[in-house]
Chains A and B, each alone.
Chain A
């Protein structure tokens, strides 16, 4: 109690220092006056009386010090003084300060980013109440999470371990709200979905199990908050509205809360509908087809995951016995909900952990570099330190000063890093790499992220601040004041130098690989795809969603092609179920040579990519025909089956050179013979890095498909063209959902891997470069300040600039050269790995080699500029006089 009161008073006193100081001064004056008066009575001269009084009072300053120590919190006051002094010192050397802050900011920013990935994917559970008891089920050996509806019902009703089991499945639909039909993504869920998740609606109500009465019941729809916001303008009266999904009417009954983005971490749905109202009876009754994405539920209190898994496995055994034709052996495991068991969970965990490790290493390297910077600085200031020690400052006090500076740097760097990280994260969250998928990037920075980043910044401040401690503790003020800074010229290779060389090497590897990647990316944009994507717009329509069936499909497709042709500026229009590299589900079929009679799996000649296309497709896509002809509109169901195949197909299946294959036949798995009427040039079908593979193009009238991409070639500006296409299609059918993008945009999907790899390598390269620069800068600065005297003497004896520079920076530059060479070699080796991600990535490219050498040279120049300036601008006269 007493000490608390004293503490509070002291805290207050620290603030009200002036008034207190004044009071003490007055008291002392009064005291001495009274004593002087007393002494005067003892018949001393006035001067002597005052002198005696003051002698008796004792050392005023020492007393004041005690008084202040007693009065306020010495610690806080000293800290403030240290901070002020630190600010002044840092302002005096802006180069050092800027380099240190930027290095730390980069490292902390990188760590904040990576930690938020760790947080979003691994640490932070789904955004639902009591997430700790929520589990997802995995069935069967390995990692599959999918289940059939009847099996789900058995699991739901027979288990004794869960408070309830729910299922969800993601599907794409055409949504018609009365204005523009759009495509949207929904979760079809079991009726108990929201109840199992213990969620409350944001608006209106949720559907429940009690709403379900078999197939086609409960035609209700619950909107996600984001979709309500973007497509219904947050209309508070949305509940009760009727919308059409794939032409069937549904009633909007509620809106889910804003923080709930569905139970799958990677994609978030636009709305939720009961599974029973969306699926056919046949899909709901089929026990065999395991199509439902994930089963989730809360464990009952007191039940362990192991017990629950045993319980469910027993049900699985029962299901296997009861329906042996439909069910195999299912071992049920419990996994974290939201990542489809280990299918996504394991690779994501591995990736994020690798990233975390990398970020940790970056931070450590940054700390090491900052440590050597601080050591250099402490060496520079050894005179100041020595003088302060000689004047009676304690070593603790001086260390505290150095730590204060380190922490100032770490605070500034940390703040900058966190701010930068937060901005980047916000952009990442808003980023939607594939406009046709509702990507969910769960990277929102939260309190945890900021706290961890701040903690890391603080710890690194302590770490690199601790590097010069030994130096200060061993300072001998007498020796230093006498003879200047003392350092024995060391020739042996220090650990710090090895570390720096490794950093430089890693930086060179990253620079090499990112350049290789960039060059590869540029190449791949202009490579030969077997078609010409530039100036082509793809309009993806799904006639199925708009309610077309059977014969209505080809008729509508024909009408769509004709109406596209009437758009001014359109050169050619084709149609395909899914164009090559179009970002859609492409299909394959087993094909056999004409001579094969046993159409079993062992006799398959090739698994050929199969495209159903309209006759004009080859013109619109500019796929060159090497021989033969394209289709005509007369090749329909009644005509003999024909196909256009590519070169690889001709070689592998027909077994002859391209031109000889014309007119020959091949077989498909149902025994149908198909005649080859044309040979197309080989192209890319599923990825840019693939080997040539067999492909067959079939007339869409002979192999109908309701999936229809219109391939529109035009020189018009894509945005305008898209508008024209949309309005033409609306004229044909106002209820037809369409998705329009250019073919190069669709290619982005395939370039995504190489883009990400390139960007990631680029970012890492920049990080590596920053670290190398600070590392070299720290070392060079240290070596210059250590040898300032020696350099001064050399200069006084007539050494040339070149020699001075060599003496000062030789070691740093040698390290740079060794590191860069090693890095370049490693980078060339690493590019082989890169070639599997980025198309045409090759390091045997003079531009890349020259670029790497130039970059590393620039790095060296940048890093040694300030120390070099300092070395050559030494004025031996001033220096020698000073020392």
Chain B
């Protein structure tokens, strides 16, 4: 069970970092909407799972947060990428691409390649 959370958290964290990198500071709801738009089903339910991930990233120093005004003029917590977060994003993007490439090659492999 724990493993599953870790995987989900790991991918979610990467999405959060990338979204903030592209779109600049966003509040929780805005982030959830963007990720939902791009990823489809992942956050269609359980949007709440985003918040523990945000907290984790903040505690690691990858993102920072401060109060600001939302579009309907209420107090909302805005998250933005820190310099450290940008570095982390680069590293993790590379890692991810590498992993994806390797896994991809395995999926394309045929029986004779492995024998």
Contacts and interface: CB of A to CB of B under 8 A. Distances in A.
Interface of A: 2, 5-6, 9-10, 13, 23-24, 26-28, 30-31, 33-35, 37-38, 55-60, 62-63, 66-67, 69-71
A55 B48 contact: no
Contacts of A59: 46, 48
Q: Can you list the 3 inter-chain pairs with the closest CB atoms, starting with the nearest? A: A58-B46, A63-B48, A34-B29
B77 to A, nearest CB: 5
19 contacts: A6-B60, A9-B59, A24-B51, A26-B77, A27-B51, A30-B27, A30-B28, A34-B70, A34-B72, A37-B72, A57-B46, A58-B45, A59-B46, A59-B48, A63-B51, A63-B52, A67-B51, A69-B52, A71-B59
Nearest to A10: B59
A30 B52 contact: no
B47 A58 contact: yes
Contact of B56 (A23, A30, A31, A70): A70
Interface string B18-47: 000000000111001100000000001111
B64 to A, nearest CB: 13
Most buried by B among A24, A31, A35, A69: A31
Contacts of B44: 56
A239 B78 CA distance: 79
Contacts of B33: 38
A299 B55 CA distance: 64
B48 A60 contact: yes
Interface string B66-82: 00001110111100000
Contacts of B71: 34
A9 to B, nearest CB: 5
A5 B59 contact: yes
Nearest to A59: B48
Contacts of B75: 26, 30
B29 A67 contact: no
Contact of B29 (A2, A6, A35): A35
A6 B33 CA distance: 28
B61 interface: yes
Contacts of B46: 57-59, 63
Contact of A58 (B49, B59, B72): B49
A392 to B, nearest CB: 13
B87 to A, nearest CB: 12
A30 B59 CA distance: 22
Nearest to A29: B74
Contacts of A13: 59
A547 B27 CA distance: 102
A34 B76 CA distance: 10
Interface residues of B, number: 26
Per DSSP, chain A at the interface is helix
Contacts of B47: 31, 35, 56-58
Contacts of A30: 27-29, 70, 74-77
Contacts of A10: 59
A25 to B, nearest CB: 11
B59 A63 contact: no
Contacts of B59: 5-6, 9-10, 13, 70-71
A56 B45 contact: yes
Contact of A31 (B28, B45, B49, B60): B28
Contacts of B72: 33-34, 37
A71 B55 contact: yes
A522 B93 CA distance: 91
Nearest to B27: A30
Contacts of A67: 51-52, 55
Contact of A27 (B5, B45, B49, B77): B77
A870 B112 CA distance: 78
Contacts of B28: 27, 30-31
Contacts of A62: 48
Nearest to A70: B52
Contacts of B29: 30-31, 34-35
Contacts of B60: 2, 5-6
Contacts of B56: 6, 70
A58 B60 CA distance: 25
A409 to B, nearest CB: 33
A737 to B, nearest CB: 78
B77 A23 contact: yes
A591 to B, nearest CB: 94
Given A10-B59, A30-B27, A58 B48 contact: yes
Contacts of A38: 33
Contacts of A63: 46, 48-49, 51-52
A66 B74 contact: no
A253 B44 CA distance: 92
Given A24-B51, A58-B45, 18 more contacts: A2-B61, A6-B56, A27-B51, A30-B27, A30-B70, A31-B28, A57-B48, A58-B47, A58-B48, A58-B49, A59-B48, A60-B48, A63-B52, A66-B5, A67-B51, A70-B52, A70-B55, A71-B59
A497 B47 CA distance: 60
Contacts of A23: 77
A28 B48 contact: yes
Contacts of A28: 48, 51
A6 B60 CA distance: 6
A765 to B, nearest CB: 56
B114 to A, nearest CB: 37
B113 to A, nearest CB: 38
A10 B32 CA distance: 25
A722 B73 CA distance: 99
Interface in B64-114: 70-72, 74-77
B36 to A, nearest CB: 9
Nearest to B46: A58
A55 B51 contact: no
